[in-house]
Amino acid sequence: MGNGEERIALLQGEVKEEEVSGTGLVRRSWIESRKLWRIVGPAIFGRVVIYSLNVITQAFAGHLGDLELASISIANTVVVGFSFGLMLGMASALETLCGQAFGAKKYHMLGVYLQRSCIVLFLCAVLLLPIYFFATPILMLIGQPPELAVQAGQVSMWFIPLHFSFVFLFPLQRFLQCQLKNSIIVIVSAVCLVVHLLVTWLFVSKLQFGLIGTVFTLNFSWWVGIFCLFGYIACGSCPDTWTGFSMEAFGGLWEFIKLSAASGVMLCLENWYYRVLILMTGYLKNAEIAVDAISICMSLNGWELMIPLAFFAGTGVRVANELGAGNGKAARFATIVSVATSAVIGLFFCLLVLVLHDKFALIYSSSSVVVEAVDELSLLLALTVLLNSVQPVLSGVAVGSGWQALVAYVNIGTYYLVGIPAGILMGWVFKLGVLGIWAGMIGGTAVQTLILAIMTIRCDWDEEAKNASARMEKLATSSKP
User: In this predicted structure, which of 261-265, 294-298, 435-439 has the lowest mean pLDDT?
Assistant: 294-298
Could you tell me if 379 and 434 are in contact, meaning their C-beta atoms sit under 8 angstroms apart?
no
Predicted local confidence at residue 288, as pLDDT? 60
| Candidate ranges 7-16, 366-375, 399-408; pick with highest mean pLDDT | 399-408
How far is it, in rounded angstroms, from Cα 254 to Cα 276? Answer: 32
Summarize the confidence of residues 196-215 as an average pLDDT.
85
CA nearest to 309, candidates 389, 408, 403? 389
Predicted local confidence at residue 13, as pLDDT? 44
Predicted local confidence at residue 354, as pLDDT? 92
Predicted local confidence at residue 15, as pLDDT? 44
Structure letter (DSSP) for residue 14: -
Predicted local confidence at residue 475, as pLDDT? 64
Could you tell me if 265 and 403 are in contact, meaning their C-beta atoms sit under 8 angstroms apart?
no
In tens, the pLDDT along 146-177 reads 887 888 888 889 999 999 999 999 999 999 98
List the chain domain ranges.
4-477
Cβ density class 115-133: b for 16+ within 10 Å, e for less: bbbbbbbeebbeebeebbe
Summarize the confidence of residues 22-30 as an average pLDDT.
78
More reliable by pLDDT, 24 or 347: 347
Alpha helix segments (H runs only) across 361-403: 368-388, 391-401
How far is it, in rounded angstroms, from Cα 407 to Cα 451? Answer: 9
pTM of this structure = 0.81
Structure letter (DSSP) for residue 86: H
Predicted local confidence at residue 222, as pLDDT? 92
Residue 377 dihedral angles phi and psi, to the nearest 5°:
-95, -5
What is the Cβ-side half-sphere exposure of residue 474, based on CA atoms within 13 angstroms? 12
For residue 5, pLDDT over 70 is answered with no
| DSSP one-letter string for 219-246 | HHHHHHHHHHHHHHIIIII-TTT-----
Structure letter (DSSP) for residue 363: G
For residue 2, pLDDT over 50 is answered with no
Could you tell me if 467 and 400 are in contact, meaning their C-beta atoms sit under 8 angstroms apart?
no
For residue 469, pLDDT over 50 is answered with yes
Residue type, 336: I
Q: How many CB atoms lie within 10 A of CB 274?
A: 22
Q: Which residues make Cβ contacts (< 8 Å) with residue 392, sequence separation at least 6?
A: 305, 308, 309, 311, 312, 342
Three-point CA angle 329, 334, 335, nearest 5°: 100
Burial status of residue 462 (CB atoms within 10 A of its CB: 0-12, 13-18, 19 or more): middle
Summarize the confidence of residues 17-44 as an average pLDDT.
77
CA nearest to 467, candidates 69, 106, 97, 13? 97
Predicted confidence band of residue 3 (pLDDT cuts 50, 70, 90): very low
Q: Across all residues in the chain, what is the average pLDDT?
A: 83
For residue 9, pLDDT over 50 is answered with no
Could you tell me if 7 and 151 are in contact, meaning their C-beta atoms sit under 8 angstroms apart?
no
How far is it, in rounded angstroms, from Cα 363 to Cα 352? Answer: 15
For residue 306, pLDDT over 90 is answered with no
Predicted confidence band of residue 449 (pLDDT cuts 50, 70, 90): very high
| DSSP one-letter string for 88-157 | HHHHTHHHHHHHHHHHTT-THHHHHHHHHHHHHHHHHHHHHHHHHHTHHHHHHHTT--HHHHHHHHHHHH
Could you tell me if 38 and 321 are in contact, meaning their C-beta atoms sit under 8 angstroms apart?
no
CA nearest to 55, candidates 78, 76, 40? 76
How far is it, in rounded angstroms, from Cα 383 to Cα 307? Answer: 16
Could you tell me if 139 and 152 are in contact, meaning their C-beta atoms sit under 8 angstroms apart?
yes
Predicted local confidence at residue 431, as pLDDT? 83
In tens, the pLDDT along 325-341 reads 889 999 999 999 999 99
How far is it, in rounded angstroms, from Cα 356 to Cα 338? Answer: 27
Tell how far CA 307 is from the center of its chain: 10
